[in-house]
Amino acid sequence: MDINALYNEWLEKAVGDPDLKEELESIKGKDDEILDRFYRSLEFGTAGLRGVIGAGTNRMNIYTVGRATQGLSDFLNKNYENPSIAIGYDSRIKSDYFSKEAASILAANGIKVYIYEELEPTPCLSYAIRYFGTSSGIILTASHNPAKYNGYKCYNPKGYQMTDEEAAETYDFIQKVDYFTGIKKTDFDEAVKSGMIEYIGDEVINSFLDEVQKQCVNPELVKKADLKVIYTPLNGTGNKPVRAILDRIGIDKVYVVPEQEKPDGNFPTCPFPNPEIKQVFEIGLEMNKNIGADILLATDPDCDRVGIAVPDKSGELVLMSGNEVGAMLLNYLLSEKKAKGILPESAIAVKSFVSTDLAEVIAKKYNCTFKNLLTGFKYIGELITNLESEGRADDFVMGFEESYGYLAGTHARDKDAVVASMLICEMAAFYKLKNMNLVDVMNSLYDEFGYYSNVVESYTFEGAAGMEKMANIMETLRENPLKMIGGLHVTAVSDYKTSVTVYNDGSVSAIDLPKSNVLAFELEKGNKVIVRPSGTEPKIKAYITAIGDSKASADEMAKKLIAAADVFMK
């Protein structure tokens, strides 16, 4: 591949967006800058596309979006008679622009398009797919990434992200499309007039909220608790639907962080709009000095994940992890449904296999079947769909991932911060009436089941060299399996790429999950280290599980395991 020839072609032909022309002119003669933009095409995987906004094959722009959409159109026309699609978008830079570009291409290919009139959460896109019975769906979002990123995620007719097979076939079509000459396109407004593009109305949003509201377990108690909530949508899509659902269940004291209320893809007060990090709560924490809230909520820009901060008995605000919230929500739903006599006999709960094992122990107490699945909420969506096909949809209690993604109910097949925000507030109200805050609740679970310290360490590897480095690290760990980590013996190594677990006594067992580039090291006394390259970011993540009789002992073990991970990530 001649990088300079590719650059010159784009310099000549990329005239559809003036921003691209200006950027390409600015990097003339800068070999490193040109290489970074053109050394590869953005990879289309099961999560679709994700990358920095800008010019080049390795960037998010109207040509990379257009090429992907043309390939998707070809895939849909091959596999469906009279295909249709739903499209949503978030507040990110050019999300609305890219969504209309995609709609115009799909319409030109004879595919009926349903598109949200304004930005909406990702779970609303999942809901719309099933509401309209479309063949596919697209959401323009880069979730919690910094402002320079955008993304393009594709869904299947079931309402969850494409399977590996569907994505691979779509990618085959994409690769045949020329960026500049291979894309069909029609005028957006004309397609709206002809009915090929149809706006999604308020009735769909209201229907979505109706389904969310059905997941309340103790709706009559919420008003009694007089809960005070500080909420930040982090300049994203959650503002309207989260406030609407909290109002519906009787929470009228909701204080929205004004600097982070309106949609803004620049995220001026939170450069990393990720509810996993403390920084996004800082303005809300300052607000709380005059409010004295019971809970702070933060949803990410596409409102599929939510983080919380709650005051302990001393009034100090504590950020709670995704693992802790997932464990508390599961315990709350199971215990209250059992108390009310509405817990199904064949209840089932699920999590990603890198999330806390505490959830599995809680489920066992209530005779709830528990499943561990690969990371990626599509696997949870697939499980729900299979339950539905068996007439067992009501058996699904909830699913979660440690990265702050939760789903109760079957209205969506992706994580949903709208229903999660509602249930977290309901749970906080329930325990407030018992004179407990959520820190107390979490500590009571640790007292009952043991202390679990779950930590995720991320190691970033930028650019072309970084991709090679990531591959080398995983290869080294496979070829030279670790025998000790943090002073603990490795009792088993699970390689999800080969679907095999090898135990330290030499025995072997099969892993009954789809193949994935993941290595899990099981250690003595239930401790664990899982190593997984991110599918959407230039990172390798190490998921640490440390178990102890006390917070101090578990945290100390977690530090040892992190230090060991730091060494083999170099």
pLDDT value of position 537: 73
Chain centroid to Cα 126, Å, comes to: 13
CA distances from 263 to 237, 267, 428 (A): 7, 9, 28
Q: Give me the helix-helix angle, 18-26 and 3-13, nearest 10°.
A: 140
- What does the alpha-carbon distance between residue 1 and residue 570 come to, in Å, rounded to a whole number? 31
- What does the alpha-carbon distance between residue 24 and residue 35 come to, in Å, rounded to a whole number? 12
pLDDT value of position 43: 87
- What does the alpha-carbon distance between residue 504 and residue 492 come to, in Å, rounded to a whole number? 6
pLDDT value of position 314: 87
- What does the alpha-carbon distance between residue 47 and residue 429 come to, in Å, rounded to a whole number? 36
What are the strands, taking DSSP E only, across 496-551? Answer: 500-503, 508-510, 519-523, 528-533, 539-548
pLDDT value of position 463: 80
CB 282 within 8 Å of CB 267: no
pLDDT value of position 536: 63
- What does the alpha-carbon distance between residue 488 and residue 490 come to, in Å, rounded to a whole number? 6
Q: Count CA atoms closer than 13 A to 538's CA, side-chain side.
A: 14
Q: What residues are labeled active site?
A: 143
CB 115 within 8 Å of CB 196: no
pLDDT value of position 187: 98
Q: What is the pTM of this model?
A: 0.93
- What does the alpha-carbon distance between residue 271 and residue 262 come to, in Å, rounded to a whole number? 15
Q: Which one-letter DSSP state was computed for residue 274?
A: -
Q: Count CA atoms closer than 13 A to 113's CA, side-chain side.
A: 32
**Maximum Cα interatomic distance, the chain, rounded to a whole number of Å:** 71
In a structure prediction context, what are the per-residue pLDDT tens digits for the chain, which is 570 residues long?
A: 689 999 999 999 999 999 999 999 999 999 999 999 999 999 887 779 999 999 999 999 999 999 999 999 999 999 999 999 999 999 999 999 999 999 999 999 999 999 999 999 999 999 999 999 999 999 999 999 999 999 999 999 999 999 989 999 999 999 999 999 999 999 999 999 999 999 999 999 999 999 999 999 998 899 999 999 999 999 999 999 999 999 999 999 999 999 999 999 999 999 999 999 999 999 999 999 999 999 999 999 999 999 999 998 888 899 999 999 999 999 999 999 999 999 999 999 999 999 999 999 999 999 999 999 998 899 999 999 999 999 999 999 999 999 999 999 999 999 999 999 999 999 999 999 999 999 999 999 999 999 999 999 999 988 878 888 999 999 999 998 899 999 999 999 999 999 999 998 889 999 998 889 999 999 998 999 999 998 667 899 999 999 998 989 999 999 999 999 999 887
CA distances from 227 to 246, 319, 503, 537 (A): 10, 18, 50, 37
Strand, helix or coil at 212?
helix
CB 532 within 8 Å of CB 354: yes
- What does the alpha-carbon distance between residue 507 and residue 502 come to, in Å, rounded to a whole number? 6
- Residue 365 CB coordination number (10 Å): 13
- What does the alpha-carbon distance between residue 346 and residue 369 come to, in Å, rounded to a whole number? 7
pLDDT value of position 538: 83
Dig out the tokens for 84 from the structure.
């249709």
Question: Taking Cα atoms as reference points, which of 135, 175, 131 lies closest to residue 155?
Answer: 135
pLDDT value of position 535: 66
Buried-exposed string 427-462: b where 16+ CB fall within 10 A, e elsewhere = bbbbbbeeeebbbebbeebbeebbbbbbbbbebebe
pLDDT value of position 570: 79
